[in-house]
Amino acid sequence: MDVTRPSVPPLALCLGGMDPSGGAGLLRDALTLSELGGQPMVVSLAETLQNGLACLRIEPPAMDPVQRLETLAPHLSGRWGVKVSLCALDASHFRRLCATLRHLAPPIRIWDPILAPSAGVGLHDGGDLRRMAADLLPMGGWVVSPNRGEAAAFAGMPPEAICSAPVESLAAPWLEAGARAVWLKGGHADGGQVQDAWITREGIQALEAVPRLPGERRGTGCLLSAAWLGLRLQGRDDLQAALESARRLRDRWDLAFSPGGVGRAMFAPLPAPQEAS
């Protein structure tokens, strides 16, 4: 029997929070990236008590994430990328993490900045995100993917500005801090349509405007940013990866379920391909 050896999958390193339910966080990242043919590796930056109802507690990880990252370093070569998300490290530990990332120089980089899980306890405010940006973004090359609430907090705007603030006002502080591009997600804007925007120093590009889907889903930000990383590792450019990520999320919206019939719906795994008879 002639068996073709599969090509070596690209490696996707995810640094973020551990949601034991798998609705969001590192487990959601790993599921998304493996569906796109990537080999996920993960390092926890935050441990949570969390389920489909709410996040009850967030703590720093017990084991030093920098040592974990350094242990993975021999694997991090060739075609690979990194995603950074929920982080409960203090300032000194986060600075050490950034120094290690700077040395490793991931070719593809995305930061999904998180103030708090969608339900339950919070973790950061705008000042925390600005301090993280000061350590992370100057190394260059980062795409940042905030929602409007996270962008408004980063810019020091009041909560009532989340829906109405101009795109350029929400994106400018990230670019000034060193981001290469800002993928501003549009789900928190008013109206019956959702439209993301891709902003660089060269200008603003509005992405596809689509009708707002009913209901809520857990882990939308995780799925979008992890899918973007996976698609970039497949060779898509920045904008195409953002558009395809959003389409993948919408295509799976109606497949969401609540494990045990409890809590907010999460994205279901994609069905296994059917073997030809």
Helix (H, G, I), strand (E, B) or coil at 184: strand
Q: Please give the full DSSP string across 231-246, using - where no structure is assigned.
A: HHHTT--HHHHHHHHH
Give the per-residue pLDDT at 274.
53
Which neighbouring-strand residues pair with 257? 266
Going 39 to 44 to 49 to 55, the CA torsion angle's sign is: negative
44-75 pLDDT per residue, tens: 999 999 999 999 999 999 999 999 999 999 99
Q: What residue segments make up the domains of the chain, in order of their start?
A: 11-261
Which residues, other chains included, contact 71 with Cβ-Cβ below 8 Å and sequence gap of 6+? none
Q: What is the mean pLDDT of residues 233-258?
A: 96
CA atoms within 13 A on the CB side of 69: 27
248-266 residue pLDDT tens: 999 999 999 999 999 999 9
pLDDT at position 2: 47
If 0-12 CB within 10 Å is exposed, 13-18 middle and 19+ buried, where does residue 178 land?
A: middle
Fold for domain 11-261?
UDP-N-acetylmuramoyl-L-alanine:D-glutamate ligase (3.40.1190)
